[in-house]
Structure 1
Amino acid sequence: MVRFGRKEVYLPNAVIALMKSEHLPATHAKFRVPLTFSKLDLRDYLYHAYGLRTDKIRSYVQQQRVQHDRPDATMPQQNKWFRPKAIKHMTVEMDKPFLWPEDPDNWEPWSKEIFNELQQNANDRDKPATRVKAAKMEGDTLATQARELLEGKKRWRRTPVDEEAVEVDSDVKI
């Protein structure tokens, strides 16, 4: 017999996410946990936080693919490699089945559109290759402007200067 509740969990500082997976039966639940979490930690956490008894726990660490450079790099470098942090998953077998609630028809209280927009912006920002491609796709780059000026396709014109511009340090005496 497995003894539950050996390690009391008061205020955990770990983020544990329940993941929806349709291929698992109703008595199984899949969690994304920190790399430092053990099976006993998850079992005691579920017991103390939710009163949930678990029978078996399987865990595996999923290594991420090697990428060129870091996602937050401003200028991606070609021969710089980076492997993102691994992700640890745990699948627990419960004594009672768990069924996911139905998705609501109205997502307005959760601001789902704003979340999706922020998520898309974050995904675009985290991909260095996307930034490089976007910069290359802009048609009015300095090189193309210079080429068009040299070939005579476009004429150079001054940038309009604001007539009402005031000099900032006009009253300073030296």
Structure 2
Amino acid sequence: MSTVDEAPVSGSKGPAINGQLIILAAGDRALFDQALPAFEKMGKRSLFLGATGAGARMKLVVNMVMGSMMGAFCEGMALAEQAGLAQGDLLEVLGLGAMANPMFAMKGPSMQAHAYPPAFPLKHQQKDLRLALELGVALALPLPVATAANDLYKAALAAGRGDEDFAAVYEVVKN
């Protein structure tokens, strides 16, 4: 059986069930090529990113962006509510413009209902933000937006929301 040095995935429970993961492989290219048929059954796209470690770093970067975006999205949802705007209208406007984003469409209704069944647990999102920030320190690259987002997720962890979906960070933002 062939293996690759690493093949983290991007995607949560739903994409895994539906074979829609994004495979972030790195290491030995020949092993990647051998494993590609299996990857194609698991995901919608398989990327070979180079030397061992590149897959893990890419996953950290992707999850850092996702966590930071969720923080900003939560602020928008909270501001809309406090400003007397319907959150459903905000979701519609976001979905119609340049910022249309499947994550907003998936997580917005959970935030409106204050129900967060875990697709990607908040504790894992915070861990990935922490690791991305550590990578930034190692590379001497300040990451102020990710730092602010990480603080939100740490507050949500302290509030006992670690096992809920990462969208539960909204409960910290709105309060």
Shorter chain as normaliser: what TM range? under 0.3
Higher helix proportion: 2
Higher strand proportion: 1
TM-score (norm 1): 0.26
